Amino acid sequence: MNYRHAFHAGNFADCVKHALLVWLLRALHRKPAPFAVLDTHAGIGRYDLSAPEAGRTGEWRAGIGRLLDIDAGPLADTVALARAAGAPAAYPGSPALVRALLRPGDRLLCCELHPEDHAALRALFRGDAQVAVHHRDGWEALRALTPFPERRGLVLVDPPFEQDGEFARLAAGIALVAHRFRAAVQACWYPIKHRAPVRDFHAALRGSGVRDLVAAELWLREPTDPQRLNGCGVLIANPPYRFEAEAGTILAALLDRLGGREPGEGWTMTRIAEE
Ligand SMILES: C[S@@+](CC[C@H](N)C(=O)[O-])C[C@H]1O[C@@H](n2cnc3c(N)ncnc32)[C@H](O)[C@@H]1O
């Protein structure tokens, strides 16, 4: 396990993932019944942007660093949460964002396999009865920890994509959860380096028979260099009402702030499978 999210926290891809995550959590608030969130690849939960790791890449400056003055429009909610978590001194990872949006009675389950990152995450939530931190394989947790007793909630799958076969694992994981826990909303992050693996991923999902899938994607340049993170996507299974329209305004606003530097940028909202 070489990947450490501390080098990348707050970059453009985090901004895409987290702005969509915040919208999905607000959608879960529409009903009073309690929900749970499973974050299968959770990271350390909160990132010090003055630490050497963040400083070495400086990626956050081209991500959350370009959004912090926003106080209206489709990104305002996410930016306010980031500021409340300490931005620009610190940046909230997915567990901190989810925790900020739990109501009394809602729960967060986190899995993190890296021993040091797991220890940091556990320390962050020590004594918090609404959060459980597991030192376990997030892929295995998809089977072990679903369905939730609450019978509603969100499964966030955000793997590091450092091993071959992660797209196939992700497609299989989406099908597994859709089968075991039909009511779950799933949000699954993936990289866009070049188009071929993404096309194959979408094709695998279409072939899986899983219903009601949408892909939200944003790229900062033509995705032709397979060595670079040119863009990213979030595959949503079982998207809440109005997701496509409202998430489209989020992607457009993100591209407006984060793009504009290289040719070939864009975003799409693609229905992969009908309801
Ligand atoms: C992209 S980062 C997660 C970022 C986090 N979701 C966020 O948005 O703040 C991926 C994390 O998954 C962890 N990881 C890698 N393989 C794992 C596995 N099989 N199960 C659980 N965690 C894993 C890595 O150590 C890393 O912290």
Distance from Cα 158 to the centre of ligand 1, integer Å:
6
199: amino acid identity, one letter: R
Which atom from ligand 1 is nearest to the alpha carbon of 159? 10
Give me the pLDDT at residue 71, please: 97
- Tell me the C-alpha distance between 51 and 92, whole Å: 14
Give me the pLDDT at residue 179, please: 97
Distance from Cα 237 to the centre of ligand 1, integer Å:
20
Whether 114 lines ligand 1, by a CB cut-off of 6 Å, is yes
- Indicate yes or no: pTM above 0.95: yes
Residue nearest to atom 26 of ligand 1 (CA): 43
Active site annotation includes 158 = yes
The DSSP symbol for 127 reads T
Give me the pLDDT at residue 2, please: 87
What single string gives the DSSP state of each residue in 21-75?
HHHHHHHHTTS-S--EEEESS-TTSEEETTSHHHHHH-GGGGTGGGTTT--SSTT
Give me the pLDDT at residue 261, please: 85
Residue nearest to atom 19 of ligand 1 (CA): 137
pLDDT digits (tens, 9 = 90+) for 26-54: 999 999 999 999 999 999 999 999 999 99
- Chain-centre distance of CA 87, in angstroms? 18
Distance from Cα 42 to the centre of ligand 1, integer Å:
5
Question: Would you call 224 helix, strand, or coil by DSSP?
Answer: coil
Distance from Cα 63 to the centre of ligand 1, integer Å:
19
Whether 99 lines ligand 1, by a CB cut-off of 6 Å, is no
- Chain-centre distance of CA 169, in angstroms? 16
Whether 124 lines ligand 1, by a CB cut-off of 6 Å, is no
Residues lower than pLDDT 50 in the chain: none
- Tell me the C-alpha distance between 269 and 244, whole Å: 7
- Tell me the C-alpha distance between 53 and 9, whole Å: 9
Give the list of residues 6+ apart from residue 157 with CB closer than 8 angstroms, or none: 40, 41, 138, 142, 170, 173, 174, 186, 187, 188, 189
Give me the pLDDT at residue 168, please: 97
For ligand 1, pick from 1, 21, 57, 112 the residue to mutate: most ligand atoms within 8 Å of CB.
112
Strand partners, 267: 218
Whether 92 lines ligand 1, by a CB cut-off of 6 Å, is no
| Both structure tokens of 248 | 């489209």
24-39+97-273 fold: Rossmann fold (3.40.50)
Give me the pLDDT at residue 78, please: 98
Whether 42 lines ligand 1, by a CB cut-off of 6 Å, is yes
135-139, long-range: CB < 8 A, 24+ apart = 135/111, 136/111, 137/111, 137/113, 138/40, 138/41, 138/42, 138/111, 138/112, 138/113, 139/40, 139/169, 139/173
Whether 191 lines ligand 1, by a CB cut-off of 6 Å, is no
Query: What are the residue boundaries of the structural domains of the chain, listed by start?
Result: 24-39+97-273
Q: Is the peptide bond before 88 cis (omega within 30 degrees of 0)?
A: yes
Angle of helix 76-84 versus helix 12-28 axis, rounded to 10: 100
| CB of 184 closer than 8 Å to CB of 231 | no
Q: What angle do CA 212, 215, 218 make, to 5 degrees?
A: 165
Distance from Cα 217 to the centre of ligand 1, integer Å:
20
From the list 39, 106, 117, 158, the catalytic residue is 158
| Both structure tokens of 198 | 């993404």
- Chain-centre distance of CA 154, in angstroms? 11
80: amino acid identity, one letter: A
